[in-house]
Amino acid sequence: MLGLKEAMQPLSDGGLTVDSQTIARIKSGMAYEKDRDGPPPGFPAFPPIPSARYVDEDFNTLEMDRMWKRSWVYACHASELPDRGSFILWRKLGSPIVIVRGKDDTIRAFYNTCRHRGAPLVKEDSGKLNRFVCGYHAWTYSLDGDLVGLRDERDFPDFDRSCHNLIQVSCESFGNWVFVNCDPEAEPLMDYLGPVADEMAEFQPDKIRLAHKAEYEIPCNVKVLLDAFLETYHLKSIHQKTVDRFLDHMGTTIELWAKGHSRMVTPNRRPEWKDPGVAGLPEIDTVGEIARDSNVSYNIYPNIVCPPSPTGMPFIIFWPKSVNSMTLECIWFSPDWGDGPLPDIWKARLDNFERILEEDTQFAPQIQASVESDGFRGIPLSYQERRIYHWHEELDRRIGADHAREGVSVELLLEPYVTKPGMSSAAE
């Protein structure tokens, strides 16, 4: 993968677009996939993904502690913190975290936990304040997290306020998208995103607007549903009357990146086809021909699936709740539509998306029941489903070989097929 400067070329308006070499590689990849008779020579056969990964409480505890709580995950859009002192209370990974825009306009995140006796700093889901004041004993903190006041300080001998500031959570932004990471030693967000950020720069994330949010509670392990969004193998059976009518899954080309990220591009059945559901919507003028003329889908590891287009995009976000339950969060972003509310034309777009989502989730409860049964012995994946195996390999890297019990890990096979910086593709 080329670096940002090499992979992106400036446009006359100062924007960025994917370079011609990457475009040519994606096009040739789609043509190769459509015409091939089998996997590339030497491509490994995948051993089944162990069934215990979807049902074992101990494994899922490891997954939460060593992967989810040590990854950069999406938290909010910058517009949800419009003013200095605006905050939201975020709970997606269990621990309540307050995300606030400081008086210096910097967005920070802290555990919503007073350093005295653990009482919450805020109790509302969102709001605006000048400082944090614990309602229990009135310990007071600045929006930077510094302890600036406590009642009866004389009764705390040798007390050093600087040792009792709020516990900060790593918080950084990619354009208007705000991410958090519970790992205090997390690498910088842009280093983590790597090629994903390089390519998605053409969608002008610093200008993208929040359009719509919805959540769905799904009774299955988070990986049961996430797996389904990493492949197009299911299109002809699940989406016969919708997505399969205009996408040719046989031409899907995939690029695997380090740290679990990946991208797949699926061609339209007719090259000239355009989505009639977005006619009339404003477009991002820096989006290149691949996202204009094909279906692109990024997996931002671990839990964002994003199929972007010139008229906007969803973040389809998968959150674990328990070993057999999850939350599906769908957040839509749009190029600027001007003043006023979201244009009415979006209703049809969101309704259509909802229908496709119902197709994708319809079997989740039954699949969960099946994976918990004695008849479930593991998942034999095909070459088309290699993004799933890539996702699970990264999970095991983060858990660490010394932590997972025998028989639950996957064999690491895909390293030779991961595109690395400086490579035009992993196959070359």
pLDDT in tens, 106-124: 999 999 999 999 999 999 9
What is the tally of helices (H) and strands (E) in the chain? 11, 20
Across-strand partners of 172?
179
**All residues at 6 or more sequence positions from 240 whose CB lies less than 8 Å from its CB, including other chains:** none
**All residues at 6 or more sequence positions from 9 whose CB lies less than 8 Å from its CB, including other chains:** 16, 17, 19, 20
pLDDT in tens, 220-277: 999 999 999 998 877 777 886 777 676 788 889 999 999 999 999 998 887 776 777 7
Residue 303 burial (10 A CB sphere; 0-12, 13-18, 19+): buried
* pLDDT reported for residue 26: 94
CA distance linking residue 168 with residue 174, whole number of Å? 19
Using CA atoms of 297, 239, 231, 44 in order, give the dihedral in degrees to the nearest 10: -150
DSSP 206-260: TT-EEEEEEEEEESS-HHHHHHHTT-STTHHHH-TTTGGGTB-GGG-EEEEEGGG
| For range 347-370, the mean pLDDT | 91
- The answer to pTM > 0.85 is yes
- pLDDT at 200 > cutoff 90: yes
Contact indicator for 188, 320 with CB cutoff of 8 Å: no
pLDDT in tens, 298-340: 999 999 999 999 999 999 999 999 999 999 999 999 999 999 9
**All residues at 6 or more sequence positions from 242 whose CB lies less than 8 Å from its CB, including other chains:** 352, 355, 356, 359
We find that the CATH architecture of domain 73-177 is 3-layer Sandwich (2.102)
Of 27-36, 163-172, 263-272, the range with the lowest mean pLDDT is 263-272
Confidence of residue 190 (pLDDT cuts 50, 70, 90): very high
pLDDT in tens, 376-408: 989 999 999 999 999 999 999 999 988 877 889
Q: Rounded to a whole number, what is the largest CA-CA distance in the chain? A: 79
How, if at all, do strands 304-306 and 209-218 pair?
unpaired
pLDDT in tens, 87-99: 999 999 999 999 9
* pLDDT reported for residue 426: 53
- pLDDT at 10 > cutoff 50: no
Q: Beta-strand (E) ranges in 47-150?
A: 73-77, 86-90, 97-101, 107-111, 126-128, 132-133, 140-141, 147-149
- Helix, strand, or coil (residue 417): helix
CA distance linking residue 422 with residue 143, whole number of Å? 42
What is the CB neighbour count within 10 angstroms for residue 107? 19
Q: Which residue has the tokens 């031409």?
A: 251
- pLDDT at 216 > cutoff 90: yes
CA distance linking residue 79 with residue 336, whole number of Å? 13
- pLDDT at 293 > cutoff 70: yes
- pLDDT at 176 > cutoff 80: yes
For 254-288, b/e burial (b = at least 16 CB within 10 A) is bbbbbbbbbbbbbbbeeeeeeeebbeebbebebbb
Which residue in 408, 361, 415, 403 sits closest to 62, CA to CA? Answer: 403
Residue 334 has what DSSP assignment? Answer: E
Confidence of residue 17 (pLDDT cuts 50, 70, 90): low
CA distance linking residue 263 with residue 419, whole number of Å? 11
Confidence of residue 14 (pLDDT cuts 50, 70, 90): very low
Of 189-193, 273-277, 285-289, 392-396, the range with the lowest mean pLDDT is 273-277
- What is the layout of strands, in order, in the sheet containing 313-322? 209-218, 325-334, 313-322, 304-306, 294-300, 262-267, 253-257, 418-419
Are the folds of 4-70+208-419 and 73-177 the same?
Answer: no
Tokens of 172: 């950084």
Angle ∠(320,307,176) on CA atoms, nearest 5? 80
How do the domains of the chain map onto residue ranges? 4-70+208-419, 73-177
* pLDDT reported for residue 139: 96
**CATH superfamily ID and name for 4-70+208-419:** Naphthalene 1,2-dioxygenase Alpha Subunit; Chain A, domain 1 (3.90.380.10)
Confidence of residue 375 (pLDDT cuts 50, 70, 90): very high
- Helix, strand, or coil (residue 366): helix
* pLDDT reported for residue 424: 56
Contact indicator for 269, 246 with CB cutoff of 8 Å: yes
